[in-house]
Chains A and B, each alone.
Chain A
Amino acid sequence: DGGITQSPKYLFRKEGQNVTLSCEQNLNHDAMYWYRQDPGQGLRLIYYSQIVNDFQKGDIAEGYSVSREKKESFPLTVTSAQKNPTAFYLCASSTLTGGRFYGYTFGSGTRLTVV
């Protein structure tokens, strides 16, 4: 079955550590996205990529980095510069069908906690 796989489901980070969240899709989607969700809040865009080897900052990119070396993969690194990284992280992908947009497909998320 096609879908988006995020791993790990739960991640614990010590102060000052970099951690990488994995996002893999087998939907052949061109675009991929990373969102952050804080408790009781909506979704805020961190980074997005519309093609391989290209990505753009979203609204809250500071303290995060990404890469897009393969169409299927869009890992997110939370660096030590991100002062409040405890949150739920969602990866999504999308494509156009017949030139029209049909929405995002989301992964199941990663819960990151700083310990």
Chain B
Amino acid sequence: AQTVTQSQPEMSVQEAETVTLSCTYDTSESDYYLFWYKQPPSRQMILVIRQEAYKQQNATENRFSVNFQKAAKSFSLKISDSQLGDAAMYFCAYRSADNYGQNFVFGPGTRLSVLP
């Protein structure tokens, strides 16, 4: 079974600075998806970024980018120019590309605080 680990329960960053959240996962599959979701205090889950394992190029979405290291099974999220609105729980998630009966495997989350 796949597992997702986020080794940093809490992190903080100064406004306008850069922060990196770590995620590692365990799988024997070669084709899969990885995601970062953000859960602000409103508790609405918001998709931040998506990565397909067969694509070597790291995904980016504005100030958010990932460092995807397939061999190391690592998928870290970098937030540049941090803003107060980035304060939230961040969940890393894995899903197999086998489209039958597959669900997300979520990590335990990292709580990010942004300091003014």
Contacts and interface: CB of A to CB of B under 8 A. Distances in A.
By size class, the interface of chain B is 20 to 34
A109 interface: yes
Contacts of B43: 37, 88, 90, 108-109
Contacts of B97: 100-101
Nearest to A45: B103
Interface of A is mostly: strand
B84 to A, nearest CB: 21
A2 interface: no
B116 interface: no
B99 A101 contact: yes
Contacts, number: 47
Interface residues of A, number: 24
A96 interface: yes
A42 B50 contact: no
A42 B45 contact: no
Interface string B69-104: 000000000000000000000010001010101011
Contacts of B45: 90, 92, 104, 106
A58 B104 CA distance: 11
Interface in B1-56: 33, 35, 42-47, 50, 52
Contacts of A106: 44-46
Interface of B: 33, 35, 42-47, 50, 52, 91, 95, 97, 99, 101, 103-104, 106-109
Q: 8 tightest A-B contacts by CB? A: A106-B45, A42-B108, A43-B106, A42-B106, A103-B47, A108-B44, A109-B43, A42-B109
Interface of A: 33, 37, 41-43, 45, 48, 50, 56, 58, 88, 90, 92, 96, 99-106, 108-109
25 contacts: A41-B109, A42-B106, A42-B109, A43-B91, A43-B106, A50-B101, A90-B43, A90-B45, A92-B45, A99-B99, A100-B52, A101-B33, A101-B95, A101-B97, A103-B33, A103-B35, A103-B47, A103-B50, A104-B47, A104-B104, A105-B47, A108-B42, A108-B43, A108-B44, A109-B43
